[in-house]
Chains A and B, each alone.
Chain A
Amino acid sequence: MNLLVLDGVTRSFDGFKAINGLTLTVDPGELRAIIGPNGAGKTTMMDIVTGKTRPDGGIVRFDGHDMSKTDEAGSARLGIGRKFQKPTVFETHTVEDNLLLSLRDNRSVFGTLFSKTDHAARIAELLALIRLEDRRLDLAADLSHGQKQWLEIGMLLAQDPKLLLVDEPAAGMTDEETARTAALLRDLAGDHAVIVVEHDMEFVRALDCKVTVLHQGSVLAEGPLDTVSANEQVIEVYLGR
């Protein structure tokens, strides 16, 4: 069974069809890259999947749940983690607290008000994974750009999501960090489904996975990167000229 199903999804903003009959399925544990020129609808697609934006029409199902009526918090609780393009961490919290807030636990006001668990073991594991052990008590604001990206990835892992949406993870990273990130995302696939939205072709190649090309709000081509990049239409709208 597919983990994520989008079927004939539409959404327009002031008459502009940002998403136009988009049909897309992702399997559990799959790694998928989504590419497309600016304005192709990549961000809107992620907004719809996470309940930030409501679709005008079509079906959005995640893990058997109708996603057209949920909100961001609801999608997160169902098991969708989202990484923003610009690293978004809690700057005035320590690295440790950033992870603590992300771990699966009671999310209600009174649940957190009286929470006593510190999840020390799980946090130590995650810190090792994202290589920030020695920054544990530093404020997130004092981390480098790349370290913030990693912290945010750690926060997503702490949520233990079924599906990870990752928006341009390689943006602003050094070559070495980029390679490490691609390796990490490949590792994550299998345990989690991962959708990566990316511009950087080298990075997409390093991911070595099925690629979906979006154009004007719908799917233009789908398949391995080599097949897709040989497609005439794709060359015309995106790669060529």
Chain B
Amino acid sequence: MSAVKGERAVPAPQAGHAATLNRRRLLNTRGWTFLLVLAAVAVGVPWLNATGALPDYAVSLVGKYLCFALLAIALDLLWGYCGILSLGHAAFFALGGYAMGMHLMREIGDRGVYANPDLPDFMVFLNWQELPWFWSGFDMFWFAALMALFVPGLLAFVFGWFAFRSRVTGVYLSIITQAMTYALMLAFFRNEMGFGGNNGLTDFKDVLGFDLASQETRTGLMVLSAIAVAIGFLICRAVVISKAGKVIVGIRDAESRMRFLGYRVEGYKLFVFVLSAMLAGLAGALYTPQVGIINPGEFSPANSIEVVIWVALGGRGTLVGAAIGAVIVAAAKTVLTGLFPEAWLFVLGGMFVFVTIFMPRGVLGVWDAMVDGMWQTRGMDPRERRLAS
């Protein structure tokens, strides 16, 4: 932005093609590049695995990163574009994960330790006689998949309905989202809740007849995750380039002006919040079968804060940047927690401080500034590039 300031020597774009510039395309160069990289990962990683260049566990690791990337894109839509900083987004992710986990528990059937065909092991252990009502239906995959989207969406709707109508904004909203995920964590820790308490849900066997322990299933799940990231990205991108997307950015920049123009700001915030929560739920539903466990730790406030760091590091309000940030941080975490487990939190904090001070627009912001500079040295107007994106 600053690169453009005072750049009056640059000829103004001609009226003729300016008219088309403002209609932003669903896929610009960056969008295509992102989708191509996703496709390359979906094809290349299994191929490298087949040739023996990549170990088996790396495939699931990539699948896990892709789930994080989708979660980051979901948060970026909310925070980067609408300015709502949710410090509880991992809650929606975890709820999606639990919904899928419940189905996977039911799929175990009588292959559990206690060989009870209906009740998961932890319920037998707690001496429960029958399945709680909220576990019914989860034996069907389609129902569980629907719930993985519906439950996070419903929570976001109810939470957002009250928060946005009462005009809770800024840091107060962030704090109550944090309280929300913390409260859910405490609730899910309790055995009486019926979600396996402290241990969560685990010992999964198969999904839709595919053995979760087999490398083929793991590869399939990784590819599905890549497809989910692509779909999530396209949905968010479609919202962002629409007129509603402009309204959403307007709310971020000047909420009261938007109200005085006649827009019901609450409705837009609620729409973005619910959509974002559902995408987070989808990411969670794909995450659970790939890591083989879902437990209340996923609700911990630190997880949600980590998501914020992914987005900040990659570049807010870019969607693609959020995904890049998620992969960079998650990969760094994998490496560092292996080498120096104690150092990880310091590195994470350090990364956040560094990015906030030196790269306020994240990795992609630095990249954009470089490209803008190149355009200007070639005597071209960076405004055109920005408008075309």
Contact = CB atoms under 8 A, between A and B. Distances in A.
Contacts of A96: 22
A113 B247 CA distance: 10
Nearest to B6: A142
Contacts, number: 102
Nearest to A155: B261
B259 A101 contact: no
A58 B265 CA distance: 28
A139 interface: yes
Interface in A149-201: 155, 159
A139 B261 contact: no
A92 B245 CA distance: 12
Contact of A100 (B239, B246, B264, B265): B246
A50 to B, nearest CB: 7
Contact of B246 (A97, A110, A114, A141): A97
Interface residues of B, number: 35
A110 B242 CA distance: 10
Most buried by A among B12, B244, B260, B387: B260
Contact of A137 (B253, B256, B383): B383
Contact of A90 (B18, B22, B250): B250
Most buried by B among A50, A71, A110, A112: A112
Interface in B326-343: none
A113 B387 CA distance: 19
A82 B257 CA distance: 9
Contact of B263 (A89, A107, A114, A136): A107
A134 interface: yes
B53 interface: no
Given A107-B264, A108-B264, 9 more contacts: A73-B263, A89-B254, A93-B246, A101-B247, A107-B263, A114-B242, A115-B242, A142-B1, A142-B4
19 contacts: A50-B260, A76-B259, A82-B260, A89-B254, A94-B22, A96-B22, A97-B22, A101-B246, A101-B250, A101-B258, A101-B261, A107-B261, A108-B264, A109-B268, A113-B242, A137-B18, A138-B4, A138-B383, A139-B1
